[in-house]
Structure 1
Amino acid sequence: MADSTTSPTAAPLSLKRLTAAFAQMLGGSREQPPQATGPKQDPCEIGPRSIVEAILFVGAEDGRARTREELAAVMRDVTAEEVDQAVDELNSLYERDGAAYEILRSASGYRLTLRDSLLRVRDRFYGKVKQARLSPAALEVLSLVAYRQPMTGAAIDNLRGARSGPLLSQLVRRGLLRQERADSGDQAARYLTTPRFLQAFRLSSLDQLPRAAELDDC
């Protein structure tokens, strides 16, 4: 499964059910108790573990996850399996020290992210995307793009039977969607979800979007 720029297999779901599921996800909370703080780790020499940590801390320009092969490629004589081991060691250290972050693993790769238990702190500074701030129409557009991305504005209009331009602009401004244009410039812009979309819905990847069976109770 790819990151937020890659579409999962489209499911035969109605807009009503998708919108209801997204509204429910936005209203949910998965707070966890803070981890106990242990002794601090002494500074270590630069090695595979610290290099992996630094790369994930900086992140990719497009916000996508980093694969273990990409991480291994920047280090001499380091294998993808050793990258996995470095990530496991880092997460063990983070948990021991009660760190505010952790490395999440998904089908698309690795991403350094804030722990769920501290998302409220982040929201105080950056603002949380709440259900009350997204209209049903905006949730409808967002759910369409999430499941069928990349999508053009015309394709979204056709499925909804209504103009979606202002809603798409609003979602782009809020950082939930992004535009992608072909290098030739003669094709319509396509819309895709962003890493902020994943954070807003408490997802590590698009693999975790609800499927038909999970939407029956929405």
Structure 2
Amino acid sequence: MAVTKRVAVVTGAGGGIGRAIVADLTASGFTVVGWGRHEPSDPVRGASFLRCDVSDADEVEGATDEVLRLFGRIDVLVTSAAVLRTAPLHEMSLEIWEETMSINLRGVFLCTRAVLPTMIEHGGGSVVHLSSVHALSTVPGTAAYAASKGAVVSFSREVAVEYADRGVRANSLVVGSVDTAMSTLHGVELARDDVRVHVPAGAIGRMADPDEVAHAVRFLVSDDASFINGSALVIDGGLTARLM
């Protein structure tokens, strides 16, 4: 199939942020293939979807091969797939820890590794890894998630350094609270464990709309961001800038 526009792969395409990114890139003229463990309940018209568990190396390689078979190249990778499980560290099960690391970190590694050869072959590409403000400052009960998202920032910088001369840019997006089902579940689990989080009043404390995150992703993968590489762009409405 002849392709005249850039091809983007977005993981976690069934989630609130992932779907918003798929929709935004599709509307901006990208050929977009969403990956996820479950079919989206509200598919984006004009985008494709492949079932893929990002923590499974064989599934990631298979999905990559299928995108290349259909479209011949991958120019953009956005890793949005993630899980957030809450428990006090001294009570956290190994299952929670390993599931979080498997999807949030191993999945980022597997997907990035899989797309680099085609990006190098075609002279470059752009990778955006979604991290979280939990990489910078966090709340009780979120050890696994915070650790995984901190590692994503470091991993993204390493990719930027290693592949800059091959034309590949890699950046992370340090995302604050977003109005999604995952954020709602996180609040429920914190309350279950009697963790009290005091959200600032006003604009600093508001949740982002998933579209606001998607717009930042679109900027980072665009030519307007051609000199942005190895950056951890904070998009949190000023939350981590607030002292008290």
Structure showing greater radius of gyration is: 1
Q: TM-score, normalised by structure 1?
A: 0.24
* Greater RCO (CA < 8 Å, at least 6 residues apart): 1
Q: TM-score, normalised by structure 2?
A: 0.22
